[in-house]
Structure formats: C-alpha cells, structure tokens
C-alpha cells in the first residue's frame, strides 16, 4: 500500500501540468464521494461538501461563498461527468502543450472556469427564463475550463487536424464549432447551466488564441497573481548579492514568451503566404531568430 501512494506521489510530482490537474480533480471527486458514503451510513442529511464547493447561481449566496468561483471547476459528483471531462482534458491538454507552455495551460484552465462561472451566474439572473431557477441552482465541473483549452488550440491553429472514429481526419476547429453550436442550442435544456458555462469557457479560449496570435498572453496576470499568493509567507533569503539585473525574472520570462509567440505567428504566416508575404520587420525577426 505504501508503494502505491509513493508511486502516485511521484507520478503527480513528475507529471505534466494537465496530469496534475487531473489528479486534483480525481482527489476532490473521491473525497466528496467518500464523505457522502460516511454521511449516509450515519443517516446524516446535512453538511454536504458540495454546498461549499459548487458555485451558486444566486449573487447573494455567491457573496457568502466567493471561493466557489475557483473550487467549482475542480468538483464533480457523477462518475461519467468526471470521466469525460478528464478524458477531454488529457487529449486536448496534450495538444495544447504542443504550442503553448504549461503555465499557460494552468492559467487558461482557471480563466476558462472563471468565465464559465460568471456567465452562468449572469445568464441565470438576466434572462427571465432562468430566473425561477436562479435561487436554487448551482454549477460544478471542469467543462468550462476544458472548453477553453479546446477552443484555444482550435482557433490558434485552425489547420490542426485530429482523427475521429467513423469520420477520419478532420480539422479540430470543425469539432469545436459543432460543440459550440450544440451548447448554444441546448441552453434551455435540463442541463442549461452546464451548456452556458461551456459557452463562457469557449469564448475565453477564443479570446486567448486571438491575443496570443499578436503576442499577448491573457494568462500572464493570473499566473502572476498565483505566484504572489504562493510566495506569501515564504521567508526571503538573507544572502545578498553584489550584482543587479536590469529586469526581473518574471519580466525576462514574459519577454521571452512574447518573443516566442511573435515568432510562432511569423512562422504561421510564412507557412500560409510564403517568404514574400512577410513584412521587412518580420523578415528581420525571422533572420535574427535563425542566428540564435
């Protein structure tokens, strides 16, 4: 038994970022279900963990539990719900990392979840159709976060193809558009909240892709905030150094990240239009990059 936990811990520590996200979702799922089993055995009907993790549609209730804007996207209760969400995260997370960095995947996961949760609350309180449900409905699941990742890849590399059973190879963007239309047509169904959240996540993924094509990373501020929160309470080293850098580590990483994104955009344009289609500035950047 000890070896099992040791292997799981090692797998978590050495795994990619989407592997860590899958572990977190699975751990939360197991804890919730075990907690439910314990309550059922003692005939206890209260103290459900879900009520503290799911995001409510009511703004008044949300003000009492603002942390649910984050916790809901790591929370599942039904086995099939978490199974399909984690499969999508695994498949499309791997594709995402072909073009972007792990920190961007983590940041977009959070950004997509936040967008989905906010759109869910907004729709439930703006549209008259949902107002009768607004006081008692809630949202859980990583679907909005996963949709953000799917749509980010789809709209950043519109020529990317995948292989589907019975359909063969198709462009990923066609699958994304089909999913978006399905969610749009299903927002008045029994799972209206889930489909609304999907749309919010999808729109955030499209926004991320459009900004990355011009070298702007929407996840950078969020990742910077996460770094600041993680570093709270950490003791700063007393050792002093005798040199000074003209830019911080974050600024250096951000500059390199922007440069890489610009180079990717130039390479995409080169692929589409050929060398003659590049501007003088783009040709210079491509030439400078080839000398490094």
Q: What are phi and psi of 98, to 5 degrees?
A: -75, -25
CA 72 and chain centroid, separation: 13
Are 278 and 270 spatial neighbours (Cβ–Cβ below 8 Å)?
A: yes
Percent of the chain exceeding pLDDT 70 equals: 86
d(CA 231, CA 225): 10
> How does the average pLDDT of the chain come out, rounded?
86
> 8-212 has which fold?
Rhomboid-like fold (1.20.1540)
CA distances from 127 to 119, 122, 198, 231, 265 (A): 12, 8, 17, 41, 40
Better-scored residue on pLDDT, 255 or 51: 51
- The pLDDT tens digits of the residues spanning 65-104 come to 999 999 999 999 999 999 999 999 999 999 999 999 999 9
How many Cβ atoms sit within 10 Å of the Cβ of residue 163? 8
- Give mean pLDDT, residues 136-145: 93
Whole-angstrom Cα Rg for the chain: 22
pLDDT the model gives residue 211: 94
- Domain coordinates in residue numbering, the chain: 8-212, 244-290
pTM across the whole model: 0.77
Q: Is the confidence at residue 29, as pLDDT, over 70?
A: yes
pLDDT category at 116 given cuts 50, 70, 90 is very high
Are 34 and 26 spatial neighbours (Cβ–Cβ below 8 Å)?
A: no
d(CA 264, CA 248): 24
- The pLDDT tens digits of the residues spanning 51-70 come to 899 999 999 999 999 999 99
- The pLDDT tens digits of the residues spanning 175-230 come to 999 999 999 999 988 889 999 999 999 999 999 999 999 989 999 999 898 888 87
pLDDT the model gives residue 227: 83
Place of tokens 């107002």: 131
Quickly list H helices, the chain.
Answer: 2-14, 17-41, 50-53, 59-64, 68-71, 79-96, 102-126, 128-131, 143-156, 172-185, 192-212, 220-231, 249-273, 280-290
């Amino acid at each position: 038994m000890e070896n099992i936990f040791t292997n799981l811990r090692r797998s978590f520590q050495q795994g990619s970022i989407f592997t860590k996200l899958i572990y977190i979702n699975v751990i939360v799922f197991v804890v919730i279900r075990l907690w439910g089993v314990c309550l059922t055995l003692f005939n206890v009907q209260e103290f459900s963990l879900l009520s503290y993790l799911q995001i409510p549609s009511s703004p008044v209730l949300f003000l009492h539990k603002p942390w649910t804007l984050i916790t809901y996207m790591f929370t599942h209760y039904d086995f099939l719900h978490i199974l399909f969400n984690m499969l999508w995260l695994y498949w499309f997370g791997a594709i995402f990392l072909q073009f972007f960095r792990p920190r961007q995947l983590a940041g977009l996961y959070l950004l997509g979840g936040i967008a989905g949760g906010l759109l869910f609350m907004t729709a439930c309180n703006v549209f008259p159709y949902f107002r009768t449900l607004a006081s008692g409905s809630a949202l859980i699941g990583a679907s909005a976060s996963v949709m953000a990742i799917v749509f980010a890849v789809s709209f950043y590399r519109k020529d990317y193809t995948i292989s589907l059973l019975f359909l063969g190879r198709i462009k990923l963007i066609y699958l994304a558009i089909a999913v978006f239309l399905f969610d749009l047509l299903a927002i008045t169904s029994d799972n209206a909240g889930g489909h609304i959240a999907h749309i919010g996540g999808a729109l955030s993924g499209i926004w991320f892709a459009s900004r990355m094509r011009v070298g702007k990373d929407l996840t950078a501020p969020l990742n910077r905030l996460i770094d600041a929160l993680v570093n709270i309470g950490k003791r700063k080293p007393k050792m002093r150094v005798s040199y000074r850098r003209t830019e911080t580590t974050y600024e250096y990483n951000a500059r390199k990240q922007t440069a890489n994104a610009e180079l990717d955009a130039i390479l995409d344009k080169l692929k589409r239009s050929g060398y003659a289609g590049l501007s003088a500035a783009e040709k210079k950047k491509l030439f400078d990059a080839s000398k490094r």
